[in-house]
Structure 1
Amino acid sequence: MNREYDVIILGGGVAGIYAAKALIKGGKTIALIERDCLGGVALRWGALPVKRVLDYFKENSGDVDKLLDGWEDDLVELSRMIEKNISFLGADVYYGEGEFIDSHNVIVGEKVLKGEYIIIATGTEPASIDGITIDGEMIITHKEAITLKNIPKSIIILGGNVEGIEFAFLYRELGIEVVLVEKEDKLLLGYDDDLVEPIEKKLLEKGVKIIKGRAANKAYIEEGKVKVVLEDGSVINGEKTLVTFFRKPNFPKGIEKLNIGLDKDKVLVDKNFNTKEDNIFAIGDINGIIGLGNVAINQGLQVAEYILSKRDISIKYEYLPRAVFTLPEIAGIGKQEEELKGVKYKVGYCNLKETWRGWARGIEEGFIKVIVDERKNILGIWMVGNLVSEYIGLLSPLFNRNLTIDDIKRNLIIHPTLMEGILEAVLNIQ
């Protein structure tokens, strides 16, 4: 069976899904190939399910049994929602592993699909390292971790990155003994100390044991436990170990047949996400630019626009909004202080409890900080607090227009809201 399409998309994660949506609305016929479940890491196998659990504990008293009893049904419903979302638009979805025959033809199962354009959006997946072999049973990845089946009494989480921290909160809220191991001397590398400090403090208050400055060199199973050997020779034990610190690219089968530049961990692309094959693009984690869901979505939309209009792509990653969905959350956009060494800047803070809405809601924790340069340009806005991720997303267009202190002062902000904390932080700059 042979079928022809305008665009074939390999990978049904958020990069592929959003590219498909935009292309279909632009009148293109689409084949979307997915080897497992639609949604990828961002929607189905990690980020979104983790947020659902954490939101449950933010908004409920913490009835763990109620959460666990309905969890598998929730994941099934999530898969249905994702499939309905993409199928409703008119894409043909093929399940199986797509393999390149040449630069225009892909085989999946017994079907050969021909596309004028092909988009590679196959993402990455967790990988073992020397001495630590993932078995999917006791030494696991996020994919096994979010099923919440056979909940262990204890777990060791390797990696104090965003994924590791979010899972540490999740498992501790479920009543599980958690040990978090980070080889560096601080958690959440890439985030300023004042943003990380409340998160680390909350982890400790909840009973998470944190080990910093010592790498995990080996993990093995003995007497029904996972034993993790740290670089100083000490050994810690847990029923399971979650590995979060290394991922490998999902290169499509047959890619070596093409004239495509590959690095060991990515597909090489130009500014338009084009490979050396003019009709083939690579978007999302597989191109190795930035491994974040919002980046993957944006690249999917941008490459669709490029195919439809041939308009060159321009993305300002320095104004990338980011969030860590912990308890409390971190969210922000722009530069952080650790990126500004040697640059003159000033900082203004506002504690959320000191805003009028913060008082009304009885908020006790969290803050907003604004970083500016000597010419009153706003370099960064960062927040810590409950659900602060909801406040950041649409600030990106403002940053792209060179947001200044005067812009904040001259424009209206709804009163009373927590967003007024940005104005208060600006007014507090010394």
Structure 2
Amino acid sequence: MKYDLIVIGSGPGGYIAAIRASQLGSKVAIIEKYTTLGGTCLNVGCIPSKALLDSSHHYHDAIHNFEAHGISVEAPKVDFGKMVERKAAVVEQTTGGIKYLMDKNKIDVYEGLGSFVDATHVKVSKNDGFEETIEGTNIIIATGSKPSSLPFIQIDKERIITSTEALKLKEIPKKLLVIGGGVIGLELGSVYKRLGSEVAVIEYMDKIVPGMDTDVSKELQKVLKKQGVKFFTSHGVKAVERTGDQVVVKATNKKGEEVEFDGDYCLVSVGRKAYTEGLGLENVGVKVNERGQVEINDHLQTNVSNIYAIGDVVKGAMLAHKAEEEGVVVAEFIAGQKPHIDYNLIPGIVYTWPEVAAVGKTEQELKETGIDYKSGKFLMRALGRSRASMDIDGFVKVLADKNTDEVLGVHIVGARAADLIMEAAVAMEYRASAEDLARICHGHPTYSEALKEAAKAAWDGQPLNA
């Protein structure tokens, strides 16, 4: 069978690329080695983690906040099995939706491992040994990533686990050790802390979410610490050992002293790495860099001009929405259009509670590049909406060019930050100034008023409600 486009991988990048290409008139095939579509995000990542985060948040509210709202209930109990069942149902419904979209857009789906025969032919190998080869004028590599580990850690998938196993545990850990204070570790740590686990986060760097603005990192750590999560930053893990149902993590602190942590589960959350195993890149000479990522140019083309790569398998932040945008860009570029993507305006989000979201430059990046900037900050606790909902933690921080007033970065810790950040992204896409944001009438009472106030603080240093 011959196609205009073959997509290898059905995650957010792959399936969106396939849909957009089909909309633009291409005959498209998509290859997925697993039995369900949607990739890591829909099956063992974004969607199931958010399902558990929402369920555990409801439980946490029932225990800690209902009474203050005048709601008296008997002590709630967790039916963890049912919680996991609900998560699985959400995943099934979402992945089923992708199958519907493939049918709707007349995209042929091949189940099996896709590997290059040459630059235009891909072999599909099924689990039962059956093989077939299909031809594509253009091919997109969208095979995503898998959890990373440390060389000396043996992931047994029982007690020493990755995010994949953490989403389908049979019990709530009594004491969960989390190696890595990044997004995944904090989100899953939050889930189990809310459900009653003791949670200790061990991070090599001197702050959590190291890539985010320092003020954001400090605030998030303060809030999560208040919720009961323990943090051990500047700790380098040296060994992870399991004895029966117990796990011991040995680490060295910043003083050079060896310390030990014990728990019944250890979540290894030290990032993810590009997944290219079995692709047969060597058969076509597609280049990869020293980190195992597929090398691409500004049009997401590999060194083989008809082969493209998107998402986690290439450089940049490993985010589902980044992969989606890249998928659209490639499909439109192949169709002869001139799409663009501004990587500076791809938001980063942490779905703890309060949520964390950011877009643009951090204050540290602006300092390093020597850009003259001004900063405005507004605390969530100053909002009527925050007091009404009891979500008073966090702030909005707006960074703007000192000379032109153009918004250069926005950083939010607070309720619904994941949704609020898109106002900032839209404003920055159109190169709005802090004054522009400050002069837009925002609904009252809303969380979004904090963005207006922070923008005014950055513009003229005079927020109205602080």
TM-score surpassing 0.5?
yes
C-alpha separation between the residues in 1 aligned to 2:373 and 2:355?
Answer: 25
CA offset digits 1:87-122 (Å, max 9, x no partner): 333222222211111111111122211111110000
C-alpha separation between the residues in 1 aligned to 2:279 and 2:451?
Answer: 49
C-alpha separation between the residues in 2 aligned to 1:389 and 1:364?
Answer: 16
CA offset digits 1:69-92 (Å, max 9, x no partner): 142353244234323333333222
After TM superposition, the structure 1 = structure 2 runs for residues 202-213 of structure 1, keeping only pairs within 5 Å, are 202-213=223-234
Is the deviation greater in 420-429 or in 11-20? 420-429
C-alpha separation between the residues in 1 aligned to 2:112 and 2:425?
Answer: 37
C-alpha separation between the residues in 2 aligned to 1:207 and 1:405?
Answer: 36
C-alpha separation between the residues in 2 aligned to 1:281 and 1:143?
Answer: 28
C-alpha separation between the residues in 2 aligned to 1:377 and 1:351?
Answer: 22
Aligned-pair CA distance for 1:359: 4.5
Q: Which residue of 1 aligns with 2:112?
A: 96
Q: Which residue of 1 aligns with 2:366?
A: 340
SS in 2 for 1:114: strand
* Aligned length in residues: 427
Q: Which residue of 2 aligns with 1:87?
A: 102
Aligned-pair CA distance for 1:218: 1.4
Does 1:428 pair with 2:457? yes
Q: Which residue of 1 aligns with 2:379?
A: 351
Does 1:106 pair with 2:135? no
Q: Which residue of 2 aligns with 1:288?
A: 315
C-alpha separation between the residues in 1 aligned to 2:420 and 2:3?
Answer: 40
C-alpha separation between the residues in 1 aligned to 2:92 and 2:138?
Answer: 27
Does 1:235 pair with 2:251? no
SS in 2 for 1:20: helix
Residue pair 2:48, 2:90 contacting (<8 A) in 1 also = no
Residue pair 1:271, 1:314 contacting (<8 A) in 2 also = no
Which one-letter code corresponds to 1:134 in the other structure?
Answer: I
Q: Which residue of 2 aligns with 1:149?
A: 170
CA RMSD after TM alignment: 2.1
Which one-letter code corresponds to 2:356 in the other structure?
Answer: I
CA offset digits 1:292-330 (Å, max 9, x no partner): 11111110111111112242x432212222211111111
SS in 2 for 1:152: coil
Aligned-pair CA distance for 1:157: 0.8
Structure 2 counterpart of 1:366, from 394, 407, 410: 394
Does 1:12 pair with 2:10? yes
Aligned-pair CA distance for 1:181: 0.5
Q: Which residue of 2 aligns with 1:184?
A: 205
Which ranges of structure 1 fall in alignment gaps of 5 or more residues? none
Residue pair 1:72, 1:147 contacting (<8 A) in 2 also = no
Structure 2 counterpart of 1:379, from 401, 408, 416: 408
Structure 1 counterpart of 2:354, from 325, 328, 335: 328
C-alpha separation between the residues in 1 aligned to 2:272 and 2:413?
Answer: 28
C-alpha separation between the residues in 2 aligned to 1:124 and 1:142?
Answer: 12
Residue pair 2:52, 2:84 contacting (<8 A) in 1 also = no
C-alpha separation between the residues in 2 aligned to 1:20 and 1:127?
Answer: 28
Q: Which residue of 2 aligns with 1:404?
A: 433
Relative to the length of structure 1, the TM-score reads 0.93
> 1:111–1:76: structure 2 CA closer, same or farther, 3 Å change rule?
farther
SS in 2 for 1:369: strand
SS in 2 for 1:234: strand
Residue pair 1:199, 1:327 contacting (<8 A) in 2 also = no
Residue pair 1:181, 1:212 contacting (<8 A) in 2 also = yes
Is the deviation greater in 137-146 or in 336-345? 336-345
SS in 2 for 1:423: helix
Q: Which residue of 1 aligns with 2:334?
A: 307
SS in 2 for 1:353: helix
Percent of pairs with identical residues: 32
Q: Which residue of 1 aligns with 2:303?
A: 276
C-alpha separation between the residues in 2 aligned to 1:378 and 1:352?
Answer: 20
Residue pair 1:321, 1:332 contacting (<8 A) in 2 also = yes
SS in 1 for 2:258: coil
Does 1:393 pair with 2:422? yes
> 1:298–1:215: structure 2 CA closer, same or farther, 3 Å change rule?
same
Residue pair 2:392, 2:414 contacting (<8 A) in 1 also = no
C-alpha separation between the residues in 2 aligned to 1:203 and 1:331?
Answer: 16
Aligned-pair CA distance for 1:410: 4.0
SS in 1 for 2:169: coil
Q: Which residue of 1 aligns with 2:217?
A: 196
> 1:299–1:409: structure 2 CA closer, same or farther, 3 Å change rule?
same
C-alpha separation between the residues in 2 aligned to 1:127 and 1:191?
Answer: 20
SS in 1 for 2:335: helix
After TM superposition, the structure 1 = structure 2 runs for residues 168-179 of structure 1, keeping only pairs within 5 Å, are 168-179=189-200
Does 1:414 pair with 2:443? yes
> 1:295–1:74: structure 2 CA closer, same or farther, 3 Å change rule?
same
Does 1:221 pair with 2:203? no
CA offset digits 1:169-201 (Å, max 9, x no partner): 111112112121001111110222321223212
Is the deviation greater in 112-121 or in 333-342? 333-342
C-alpha separation between the residues in 2 aligned to 1:236 and 1:338?
Answer: 32
SS in 1 for 2:297: coil
C-alpha separation between the residues in 2 aligned to 1:267 and 1:414?
Answer: 45
Which one-letter code corresponds to 1:14 in the other structure?
Answer: P
> 1:397–1:363: structure 2 CA closer, same or farther, 3 Å change rule?
closer
CA offset digits 1:266-301 (Å, max 9, x no partner): 000010100111111000010122211111111011
C-alpha separation between the residues in 1 aligned to 2:355 and 2:90?
Answer: 26
